[in-house]
Chains A and B, each alone.
Chain A
Amino acid sequence: MTTVAHVHDTTDSPFALSHLDSLESEAVHIFREVAGEFERPVILFSGGKDSIVMLHLALKAFAPAAIPFTLLHVDTGHNFPEVLEYRDRVVAQHGLRLHVASVQEYIDAGKLRERPDGTRNPLQTVPLTEAIQQHRFDAVFGGGRRDEEKARAKERVFSLRDEFSQWDPRRQRPELWQLYNGRHAPGEHVRVFPLSNWTELDVWQYIQREAIELPEIYFAHEREVFARSGMWLTAGDWGGPKETETVETRLVRYRTVGDMSCTGAVDSDATTLDAVIAEIAASRLTERGATRADDKMSEAAMEDRKREGYF
C-alpha cells in the first residue's frame, strides 16, 4: 500500500510521455529488435501512408546510420502513378534498395489469372510469398494496424508464418511484456507490425508532427472517377468504367492507397494536413469501410486472406 505515495498524477508528472511519443518509442523498439535478431529483414513499402510512417520510424531508429533493411513492393500493375513516382523518389533519396514483385508479370506468365471482378488486390499474395521465399527474407515488416479490422485486432506484433506464409490465428504465440519471440525454423518467417497499436488518427497526427511528405493523392484534388459498389473508383486502363458506368470529375482524396481496382476515393475538400485530420476526426466511417472493396467481400474476408499469406 506504500506505492500510492510514489505515484504522480498524469497531469502534473513531468515524465509522462504523450501518446504519440509512447507509440513512436514502442515502434522504434520493435524495429531495433528485428535488426538485432534477424538476418534478412525487409520492409513492405507501397508508398501508402502507413508504410511511409514505417520508413520514417526506421530512419529515426537507426540514425545517423542507414536503415539495415531493404524494401519490397508488390506492384499489382494497377497502382496509382503518383504513388509509384513517390516510391521511387523516396527510395533514391535515402539510398535504399527496393525489390518489386509484379502481379502483371505473374499474369503474363500464366501463373495467375485475372479475376472476373477485375480486382487484383487478392492476387498479391502469391507474388509476395514467392518473393519472401526467393530472397529468403526472415522478417517482413508490414504497416498493418489492429484498429483497421477485427481480424487484424487479433494479430501479434511478431507473427510467425509457416513456409507457405500462412497465418494460423489459433496457434499464435502469446505476446508478453515487450519480449518479442522471433524464433523461427528455416523457411518460416515472422511478419512484424510496428504500427499495431496506432490508429488512423495517430498516423495522421504523427505525419503532421514530423512534417512527413505524402503522395499528393491523399489531399483533395479533381479526378475522373466513376461509381461502383458505393465507391468512387479512378477511371483508367485497369478496367473501369464499364459501359453502364459513367465517368465524372469530382473533388476527392484518398484515405487509403492500395490498388486502383479496389481503393475508392472519398469526396473531400481537404487540401492541407489540418483539414485532413479534422475530416478524419469527424468521420463516422472507418478507413477501410469507406474505401476498400476487398474487405466487403465477406465477414471474414481479411481473416481468410491473412490465413493465405496476405499481409
Chain B
Amino acid sequence: MSTSTEQLSEQLAATTLLRFATAGSVDDGKSTLVGRLLHDSKSVLADQLEAVEHASRSRGQEAPDLALLTDGLRAEREQGITIDVAYRYFATPRRRFILADTPGHVQYTRNMVTGASTAELAVVLVDARNGVVEQTRRHAAVAALLRVPHVVLAVNKMDLVDYQESVFAAIAEEFTTYASELGVPEITAIPISALAGDNVVEPSANMDWYGGPTVLEHLETVPVSHDLTACHARFPVQYVIRPQTAEHPDYRGYAGQIAAGAFRVGEQITVLPSGKTSTITGIDALGESVDIAWAPQSVTIRLADDIDISRGDLLAPSGDAPATSQDVVATVCHVADQPLTVGQRVLLKHTTRTVKAIVKEIPSRLTLDDLSQHPEPGQLVANDIGQVKVRTAEPLALDAYADSRRTGSFLLIDPADGTTLAAGMAGESFVSAKAAADADDDAEGWDF
C-alpha cells in the first residue's frame, strides 16, 4: 500500500461534488485533456491502462491511445469518434468530480446540451493555432443558453505556438468579449498543452507569464453553492407518503427534492396550481427531523392542513410563489430525429408534472454560427435551437430558466412513442440576455 495515511484520510474527508462538462471540436485535443485529468489525478487504474495498451497494440498503434479510455461503445472505437455523452468520475483530496464528456461534432449539439444541463462548469477547448472558430462560438452559445454558471476557456496546444503570451491573450480576449455578450457570467481562460501537461494538473514551466490557476486547481476551487437567500424556494411534490400503519396512522408527508432555495418549519406555503395555503409543521430529511432544508436535498414535508396535494403540485413560500400560466414561451433545443412542427400535440414534462400541450408557434430558429434569427421556420429538426410558444392543457407554475434551472426547464415528449423531442428553457431567449441585463442591472443570482 503506497498511499500514506495522511493522504488517505485527506482523500476520504467530506468533500463537495462538482459536475462539469467538456466541449471541443474534433481535433482540439479533448480526449487528451480528459485522459490527462483522469491519468494525473490517478483515476486511471492499472487494469484500465493495460486494456488500453493492449487494444492500441492490436490496432497497430505504437503509443497507448487515451481516447480508448473514454470511447466506450464498439461503434465509437471503430470510427475513432465519440458519439454519445459519457460520464467520468475522478477525485482529488479537495473535491469529487462528475465529468460529462460530450462529443464535439456539429451534429451532436443535443449531446452538449445534455451534458451542460446538469453542469456547473463547462470547459470549452480551442486550438491555439486556430483561435476562436465557428464551433467555439457554438459551444459558448450553448453554455450561455443552458446558463452554465462558470465557463473555462482552455487554449490548448500552446506548445505548437511557442507558448507565446500574445497568442493566448488575443484568443482569450476575443472569446471573453463574445461569451460576455451572450451573458456567460464568469469566464476563466487558461493556456494549456494537454499533450505536454502544461497547466492541466501541474503549472507550466514554459509559460511563466501566466499567473492563474491550472485547470485542475480551478476545478477544485470554483465555487459551486449559491446564497440561498437569493433564490426563490421551490418544492415539486414527487410522491405522497402515507404509511397507514398502526405506528403511523395519520402520517401524510409530501416527498420531493427541493429544487431551489430553502424551506423552514413554521413557514407558510402556497400549493400550485390550486393556490391553497398551509403551514409547514415538519421536515424529515431522510430519517432526521430538521428545522430547515435546502436545495438539492431530498426531504419529506408535513403540513398543518389536510389539503388535496398530489404528485405534480409545487410548494412555494406564500410570499414568493410563481405565477401559473397555460402559455409557455421558451427556447428549445430539438433533440430528436423526428421534427417538431407548429400544431403538433405533445406532452410537456415540467418538474414532476406532465401535461398535454400543443405547439402554437415557432417564431424563430437560431443559427448558432452567427446567432442570427431565422423567422417562422415552421419546424425544428435535430440539433436546432429555436423559440416556441406552447399552450398547455393545465396551468403550470414555471419560473424563468434564468431564475431557476430546475423549475424553468422542461421536456417536450412525443405522446405516441415517448420520444424526448426537445429540451425547453422557459422565458426570454438568451440572445436577449444582454439587453435584459442592461435593463435590470441588479438582477438576482442565477439559481441552479
- Tell me the A residues contacting B by CB distance below 8 Å: 1-10, 13, 15-26, 28-29, 32-33, 35-36, 60-66, 146-147, 149-154, 160, 169-170, 172-179, 181, 183-185, 196-197, 199, 201-202, 205, 277-279, 281-286, 289-290, 299-300, 303-304
Contact = CB atoms under 8 A, between A and B. Distances in A.
Contacts of B149: 3, 7
B126 interface: no
B399 to A, nearest CB: 13
B192 interface: no
B77 A299 contact: yes
B406 A299 contact: no
Given A146-B86, A299-B51, 19 more contacts: A1-B185, A6-B445, A10-B223, A16-B224, A17-B296, A18-B15, A25-B257, A29-B257, A63-B284, A65-B241, A65-B243, A146-B89, A150-B86, A181-B420, A202-B96, A281-B3, A281-B11, A285-B45, A290-B47
Contacts of B51: 289, 299
Name B's interface SS. Answer: mixed
B364 interface: no
28 contacts: A1-B180, A2-B442, A6-B226, A6-B230, A6-B445, A7-B225, A7-B226, A10-B16, A10-B221, A10-B223, A10-B224, A15-B226, A18-B15, A18-B16, A23-B17, A24-B298, A61-B286, A63-B241, A64-B245, A66-B243, A146-B87, A150-B72, A154-B85, A154-B86, A170-B75, A179-B349, A185-B417, A284-B45
Contacts of A184: 418
A236 B251 CA distance: 50
A277 to B, nearest CB: 7
Contacts of B15: 18-19
A86 B145 CA distance: 50
Interface stretch (B107-115, B164-172, B197-205, B317-325): B107-115
A61 B299 CA distance: 8
B409 A179 contact: yes
Contact of B8 (A26, A28, A282): A282
Contacts of A63: 241, 284, 286-287
B373 interface: no
B298 A29 contact: yes
A177 B16 contact: no
A196 B87 CA distance: 9
B444 interface: yes
Name which of A1, A2, A16, A153 has the most chain B CB atoms within 10 A of its CB: A153
B130 interface: no
Contacts, number: 247
Nearest to A150: B72
B88 A181 contact: no
B365 to A, nearest CB: 19
A284 to B, nearest CB: 4
Nearest to A147: B89
Given A16-B16, A60-B287, A150 B45 contact: no
Name which of B85, B87, B88, B444 has the most chain A CB atoms within 10 A of its CB: B87
Interface in B100-138: 110-111, 113-114, 117-118
Interface size band for B: 35 or more
Interface in B22-66: 45-48, 51, 55
Contact of A181 (B72, B255, B349): B349
Contact of A17 (B11, B85, B297): B297
Nearest to A7: B223
Interface in B283-309: 284, 286-287, 294, 296-298
Interface in B318-338: 335
B1 interface: yes
A9 B17 contact: no
B419 interface: yes
Interface string B391-414: 000000000000001100111010
B73 interface: yes
A17 B66 CA distance: 33
Interface of B: 1-3, 8, 11-12, 14-17, 45-48, 51, 55, 69-75, 77, 83-89, 91, 95-96, 98, 110-111, 113-114, 117-118, 149, 180, 185-186, 221, 223-228, 230, 238-239, 241-243, 245, 247-248, 251, 255-257, 262, 284, 286-287, 294, 296-298, 311, 335, 347, 349, 351-352, 405-406, 409-411, 413, 417-420, 423, 437, 441-446
A36 B311 contact: yes
A277 B286 CA distance: 24
Contact of B70 (A28, A33, A150, A299): A150
Contact of B83 (A10, A18, A170): A170
A4 B251 contact: no
Contacts of A202: 96
Contacts of B423: 174, 176-177
Contacts of B311: 36
Given A61-B298, A170-B84, A32 B238 contact: yes
Contacts of A20: 14
Given A3-B185, A19-B15, A303 B241 contact: no
Given A32-B238, A61-B298, A19 B17 contact: yes
A18 B14 contact: yes
Nearest to A285: B47
A303 B89 CA distance: 19
B441 A2 contact: yes
Contacts of A290: 47
Nearest to A27: B298
